[in-house]
Structure 1
Amino acid sequence: MARKTGGARKSRAVSALVRAEDAAEEEILETPALSSAIGLADDANDVDDDDEDVEAEAEAEIERRLVAEAQAEAEAAKRENKGVYNKEALEALVADWSDKKLPWVETLDTCEVSLELESVHDDLKREVAFYNNTLAAVRIAKARLAKEGVAYKRPDDYFAEMLKSDAHMAKVKDKLIYEQKKITAVEERKKSQAHRRVAKEIQAEKVKERNQQKKDTLEAVKQWKKRKGNDKRSGLNDDDNDQLDSIMSGKRKHGGNDRDDPKKKPRVNHKREAKDAKFGFGGKHRHAKSNTKDSTNDMSRFPGTRAKARGKVQAAPKGGKRAGKAQRTTQRNKSRRNILSRSLRVFATGGLVVLDYQRNLKGTGRDDPEYRTKLQSLNQRTAQRLFHLCFQNGGIYTKFGQQLATFNHGLPKEYTGTLAQLQDQAKAVPFEKAIETVEAELKRPWQENFKEFDRKPIASASLAQVHRAVDHQGRELAVKIQYPHLHAQLNADIQVIKWAFQTTEYFFPDVQIQWLYPEFKGALMSELDFENEKNNSRRIATCLKRNTDVHVPIVYDELSTKKMMSMEFIHGPKISQIDSIKELGLQPLEVSRVLCEVFSEMIFCHGFVHCDPHAGNIFVRHNPDPQAKRKEQIVLLDHGLYREVDDDFRKTYCDLWRAMLMRDRILLEDCGRRLNIGDLAKYLPLLFTYRMISHKGHLDAAMSESERKEMKEDLSGIRFSNVSDFLEQLPRDMLFVFRTNNMIRALNKDLGGTTRRLSLA
């Protein structure tokens, strides 16, 4: 029992200590109150266990003395803190320091920047102001230390280090931002509540005013009726009419337009005008009208004509800009059927291709003498099927076929040769459809923008067709109009092409072409945006402005949108029309030299490359500059597909050509490492120059028989899958530049050039 009572006394002593600490407003480590409390607690432990009354009195005395002494100490601490805010003492200290005139290095006084603080109550702004002030002072100190030649470094003591970690300060920052947002939200909420309160008051006043006006009007009419009943002779005299008119004219404020007053213009109802423009005059017709001319002539309600009338699509109201609901439904269903038929055509063609390959190559090994002949025949049949598929579906499929035709470094020549016909064969939409797109994009009839507009297109490409036109300023234009159905079919066609890639890899594991899909999709989306093409055109024109051998047509912004583009009309033959070039008195070899120099400048000097330089996108004409060195000038068209290459790639590409021309194997291997293709770099000279790195003669010299034999042995074990892997490992910049190089190489060959004048060499 005594042990238990002693524990209770100790607990009560500890409680007294805690209450004493709470009574003081700050922590006091060594005070008389604390020493007295500890002494009383020790005395309490020595009290006889049996004297409970004495213990109770001791505990009460301990508690009373602790509280009193703690309060006294707290008041003393408050009095001592008065010196912190002693302005006179602080000024005396500052004067003492300033009188000594110590060197600046001793004082490091940088109080030259004033503290700009909007509000001391805004925690975030206050901390930012302190931070900016400190940062400015540090910059001044660093400049002065550097000027006086004093070495400095960050102190190593604890108080010079950051007291809080970055993570902690990030939390503090988030907290301050959160509080600031909360304060802003509260203020906005208060403003909103005030606005709503004022709006309700205004609305109540308006309602009250209208009710009073209505009451006054009814009272005036009532009085007028009363006077009218009293007048039995005429029923209504002129004075009564004037009085009633004055009453009604003063009260008519919320009933529409005052049509009786010719001086007042009728009020325009913009909402009504918008509905009339959208649905036709009269707004949206939810139900059929009766007792009108149209309803009288409508015989669909009578037997024998109802079924016929139901099947007829009602046209949109005259003057309306939107088709009726039935017509829109019909168009939507037609579009869906078109997408379905296009997709089925793709899968049907794919099924035929798979069956044809599996049936004819089954049981035939690669070592079989007939294997190569059968494979070439199969490739030709498949290429013809793909050509008809792309031609029938048109649009994106035509663009896809054109892209495949340019991969002559990765696809058999049967494919590239057959699909290349798509560059000159594309379906054009009727003139009415094309002109609808023009009017929809420019938002006015085409006659307001163009003086002349040829009905027949001068060119039809995969995504757009081009018409010749003349504007009201007399400028001859080439108007490029995007096919109207492309965007409606875009998502479905892209998904079907993706499935076709996946199916091809599934049935033909050696053909790895899924990596082509992202590149094709990115190029397609870039070419569909004519705003992007306009920007590319202006950028390349700026890059080549000093080169008089090339011209980029001017684009007119006022007649251009995302789906149509008006540009300067160019007269001249395509670069592939050799006879027409000669008829102009121009030399095809000089045209080839200009072509090679222009595209070399794009890659090596500007890093901005036209990636679709087929024959239809390059025209040739006489150079209009009489001071130009050459008579030949090429014109670049279709700037939808460009590739921007960085400086590192251009340097690597330069080193690659240097290695191929100088037969430097070490540099070639280094380029392979930089291009992430490793040992496959040894095949790059074969792709670019049709020569191995071991070739001893000049680039225009034929390979010897031993070199041919060595090359065949080296390439004998390469399969189509190896080619696909090699192309997939190439950087995308290299792939696009390589594609451009091959297209320029083909044009160079058609113009009579040789590999000695290779475009990018």
Structure 2
Amino acid sequence: MPPVRPGSEHSGPGAARYRARYRRILRFAGWNLAVTWWYELFLPRIGLVKIAERTRARRMRLFARRFHVLAVELGGLMIKVGQFMSSRLDVLPPEITAELEGLQDEVPPVDFAQIRARAEAELGMPLERVFGSVEEAPLAAASLGQAHRATLAPSDAEDVGFDAVVIKVQRPGIDEIVDVDLAALRTVGGWLSRVRLVSSRVDMPALVEEFAVTSLEEIDYLHEAQNAERFATNFAGDSRVGVPAIVWERSTRRVLTLEDVTAIKITDGEALRAAGIDPAEVAHVFASVMFDQLFTHGFFHADPHPGNVFVTPRTANADSALWQLTFIDFGMMGEVPASTRSGLRKLLFAAASRDGKGLVEAIRNVGVLLPSADTRELERAMTELFARFGGMGFAELREVDPREFRDFAVQFGDVIRSLPFQLPENLLLVIRAMSLVSGVCSALDAEFNLWDSVEPYAAQLLRDERGNVVMDAAQQVLEVAGVAWRLPKRLDTVLTRIEEGSLEVVNPRLERKVARLERTGRRAVSALLFGALLIAGSVLRADDAVLGTVLMALSALPLLHVLFARGARDGS
């Protein structure tokens, strides 16, 4: 049963309604889990696997459609769950993610009398004493809250320097609804954790808690206000970006009062052109600002859909642009921590050297793959990808037939879905944000290509991190060298135990294999040193031609050792 909080409606007249909500969610999940068990586990065991395969796509689409209906009817966190599921390309099949992709906050508005009561209880006084006026018709209605236009009282307007505001008020009972929904989701997550087919691929309880943290932050309006101010600080002095000011004196955890910055919707091309603004230029600036958030500040708007970004015309000024992008709704924000940046750097270097195996290992280090993952198929797919596209620049990639990319995407998607793979929250939000950015920019400019915007940032990241290349390579060489240095002693210990009879040997060719392993270990040190020197030299050569050339020349020595050792072995 859902938790009962003291003083909440769980222990009052609304308890039956919340229990019914909890049971409805569990019934939906239980029925669909039973159907999945029947088709995916039971039928294959009795030799009817073809029936499961033939009906899988249709069943997945039917499930997604039914969940869409459930989410719209219940509102609350269920719509957020659907939006969350639509972005989990790492966990769910495309039939589900595609069906839920368009799920929005399709909920009817709450009667203004209830919104008034909620706001007055939070602010501690009648709205007429707080605001000069409040529009009863909502500006926007969502599953968690509702927004209304208003004007500040003259004294407050004088203090903050503006009078037009927007009041965001949480829907009545939303705290209790969130409690019930999270309780139901935790129960379902517990069920799924006992299914080996699911638990081998994803940690469901952890995934639910990840969603819970994001959801609880989103219904805390003080947290949203702090996000807005942090975002504004990051872009202070940047004439391209605007952020609504927060009226702290009229804001609480459940009521947020902020400057009304409503302007031209970013995807309204007709209105932009009427204001003398080129939509293609807006697309370029929007992409650039989003990459600044990701790569420069490490703190980014994770939900930059068209309703959350305005284009605001400005008075002509020699020191600033004629318009700016104004962001709103900072409830869902993402961060790119130092550890993730380090992982992305390793991914970049592996990609630069076209090292499929190294790329997969970097993906594992970022935490995307569970330790139990068998990555051989993924390594093969990445090696094929590098073989086909690895030598191409961004301009060349744009000329490749899109069907080739689609073919690789199908192969890559099948491999991914076969692995115990899940994206950490920060990477998931990055992918979500960039997907929305790409869609918005394409709507503004049919010729827009995300490659054009990401190229300078990728190049800058490589330049900024080039000083770490040699250290990283040296550290890896030392680690492997240490293993190789200790290997002969360990092998000698094993052989001694064999001679003494303290180790039972089943394979009579063990000594030959051990000797081959020792030679392989020593060659691995040389191979790694060759690769490290070559990559370091090629990266540094752009800025320091002498040092870069020396490192690349030195890489020939370990390469000769690798080739000589292999030739000697083949000749033996």
Q: TM-score, normalised by structure 1?
A: 0.50
More deviation in 526-535 or 572-581? 572-581
Cα distance in structure 2, aligned partners of 1:525 and 1:471: 29
RCO (CA 8 Å, sep 6+): is it higher in 1 or 2?
2
Letter paired with 1:540: F
Matched, 1:527 2:218: yes
Q: CA deviation at 1:468?
A: 0.5
Root-mean-square deviation over aligned CA pairs: 3.8
**Which residue of 177, 181, 184 corresponds with 1:493?**
181
Cα distance in structure 1, aligned partners of 2:366 and 2:213: 22
Q: Secondary structure at the match of 1:514?
A: helix
On the 8 A contact 1:572/1:620 being kept in 2, the answer is yes
Pair 1:416–1:617, CA change in 2 (3 A): farther
On the 8 A contact 2:93/2:417 being kept in 1, the answer is no
Letter paired with 1:755: L
Matched, 1:702 2:383: no
Unaligned runs of 5+ in 2: 1-6, 158-162, 459-572
On the 8 A contact 1:669/1:681 being kept in 2, the answer is no
Matched, 1:635 2:326: yes
Q: CA deviation at 1:466?
A: 0.6
On the 8 A contact 2:77/2:178 being kept in 1, the answer is yes
Corresponding position of 1:554? 245
Corresponding position of 1:97? none
**Which residue of 404, 421, 427 corresponds with 1:726?**
421
Q: CA deviation at 1:351?
A: 3.5
Cα distance in structure 2, aligned partners of 1:705 and 1:420: 23
Letter paired with 1:382: F
**Which residue of 21, 27, 30 corresponds with 1:351?**
30
Cα distance in structure 1, aligned partners of 2:8 and 2:143: 28
Letter paired with 2:399: A
On the 8 A contact 1:700/1:755 being kept in 2, the answer is no
Question: Cα deviation per residue 1:442-474 (whole Å; 9 max; x = unaligned)?
Answer: 111100111211111111123111101112236
Matched, 1:339 2:23: no
Matched, 1:755 2:446: no
The structure with the larger Rg is 1
On the 8 A contact 1:353/1:382 being kept in 2, the answer is yes
Cα distance in structure 2, aligned partners of 1:647 and 1:742: 23
**Which residue of 171, 179, 183 corresponds with 1:483?**
171
Pair 1:726–1:446, CA change in 2 (3 A): same
Cα distance in structure 1, aligned partners of 2:78 and 2:185: 8
Matched, 1:375 2:64: no
Corresponding position of 1:650? 341
Corresponding position of 1:607? 298
Q: Secondary structure at the match of 1:553?
A: coil
Letter paired with 1:483: R
Q: TM-score, normalised by structure 2?
A: 0.65
Pair 1:550–1:494, CA change in 2 (3 A): same
On the 8 A contact 2:245/2:258 being kept in 1, the answer is yes
Cα distance in structure 1, aligned partners of 2:125 and 2:87: 40
On the 8 A contact 1:464/1:482 being kept in 2, the answer is yes
Cα distance in structure 2, aligned partners of 1:719 and 1:389: 29
More deviation in 617-626 or 460-469? 617-626
On the 8 A contact 1:530/1:565 being kept in 2, the answer is yes
On the 8 A contact 2:356/2:379 being kept in 1, the answer is no
Q: CA deviation at 1:595?
A: 2.0
Matched, 1:545 2:236: yes
Corresponding position of 2:501? none
Matched, 1:597 2:288: yes
Matched, 1:620 2:299: no
Pair 1:700–1:329, CA change in 2 (3 A): closer
Cα distance in structure 1, aligned partners of 2:177 and 2:313: 42
Cα distance in structure 1, aligned partners of 2:360 and 2:29: 41
Corresponding position of 2:126? 445
Pair 1:389–1:579, CA change in 2 (3 A): farther
On the 8 A contact 1:685/1:693 being kept in 2, the answer is no
More deviation in 592-601 or 705-714? 705-714
Corresponding position of 1:469? 150
On the 8 A contact 2:112/2:136 being kept in 1, the answer is yes
Pair 1:737–1:640, CA change in 2 (3 A): same
Unaligned runs of 5+ in 1: 1-327
